[in-house]
Chains A and B, each alone.
Chain A
């Protein structure tokens, strides 16, 4: 059996769902595939309230945003088909992709594809970093917030970005003792409002420190950390062993880019966006003109900007098939205005700089 659609969307997180909903609302026939059993991507495990913007999702918990997006998707089901537990495994020629579910493999022919594959968690180099009990921050959230299981009894958090801070707080809410938070930089990476919360609860924050080893036989028994100098070199004789049965790595994410590389999209390395990303223009279109991108796959940000990027990609993909449309133009203009607002200020500086580099680079290629 083979399938045919106008717009194929890969990934049902905030970006993919938003892109699919907009394209389907406009009137395109859309097929969305996602390899998880649940729609919503990583939002389903986020229990904290989003800052968002006053116009969008401010003060709403992550999983509730996912529920809202799913309702939007259900309202346009006439034009939007969704396949869960299904991965997009590759492109064949310009207009065909292969999708794989537990039951079968099928080719899908499409006119445009919007790739919203998200990101993978980074690991960190230290001795025994593969010991059972060393988990990614996303894994800890999945286990704890989706399945209701604590990752352990005493946990050491590595990384003080927003994810490290938020997950530390969630761990405490779930009854896990957070024995410390380790940060290589001299200052806390995430928002102070999150840091204050866990500091008030008595969690020690070790800035200018790194983890040098996980210790234990076939499971984590403790971790050894040490001080770093201003050149990030280990300071001798500052080692400190901390007892814990879990180590959580919240050291950033990298865009999941296999499909872009396989689809011959030009890639570009932007450290501010998490590494290699596909070159994209203001319409979220890559250098392969049938492939659009939105969300963390286009550079690491957060769910609210992923939703807006997805709306732009959905509207632009629709227009590239059906021609310029007033409603689509209005969606794009609104989303761009909100994005500008969200990325303004000092917290958005790195992302602004990274996004500007991409736009400049695609202009000359």
Chain B
């Protein structure tokens, strides 16, 4: 049984079209418009980054863009809150190192 809910007694889920994205260079499938962190979670990825000071493993926590636990590098942009950023076709998602470096 995968993590995606196929049948639910109350809800039905409207999904965008199926698209491909890349996590650390690895090709994965998700649905357009769903949050990046949700797509990664469904694909079995829970570890999103390591904390800057103590190098602790980090996943998402609040899923509504408040707690900053889920920040990753998305298409080159560091500190992207992946729990509220919609997934798009061909997105390059990487685990961020430390605070990340903003490219000039």
Contact = CB atoms under 8 A, between A and B. Distances in A.
A36 interface: yes
Interface in A30-66: 35-37, 47, 61
A139 interface: yes
Interface string B15-52: 10000000000000000001100100110001110010
Contacts of B91: none
Nearest to A135: B61
How would you classify the secondary structure of chain B's contact residues: helix, strand, loop or mixed? loop
B52 to A, nearest CB: 13
Interface stretch (A144-152, A230-238, A309-317, A324-332): A144-152
B66 A150 contact: no
Contacts of A135: 59-61, 63
Contacts of B66: 120-121, 256
B4 A148 contact: yes
B57 interface: yes
A359 interface: no
Contact of A36 (B4, B9, B34, B64): B64
Contacts of A144: 5
Contacts of B13: 147-148
Given A133-B46, A173-B10, A148 B5 contact: yes
How would you classify the secondary structure of chain A's contact residues: helix, strand, loop or mixed? loop
Contacts of A120: 62, 66-67
A182 B9 CA distance: 26
Most B-side CB within 10 Å, residue of A121, A136, A143, A145? A143
Contacts of B10: 47, 61, 173
A34 to B, nearest CB: 12
Contacts of A142: 63-64
Contacts of A218: 47, 57
B91 to A, nearest CB: 15
Contacts of B59: 131-135, 219
Contact of B56 (A47, A130, A138): A130
B58 A143 contact: no
Contacts of B62: 120-121, 136, 138-139
A321 interface: no
A150 B38 contact: no
A143 B63 contact: yes
Interface of B: 1, 3-5, 8-11, 13, 15, 34-35, 38, 41-42, 46-48, 51, 56-67, 69, 83-84, 86
Given A149-B3, A219-B59, 17 more contacts: A36-B84, A133-B59, A135-B63, A139-B60, A142-B64, A143-B41, A147-B34, A148-B4, A149-B41, A150-B3, A150-B4, A152-B3, A173-B8, A173-B9, A218-B47, A219-B46, A219-B57
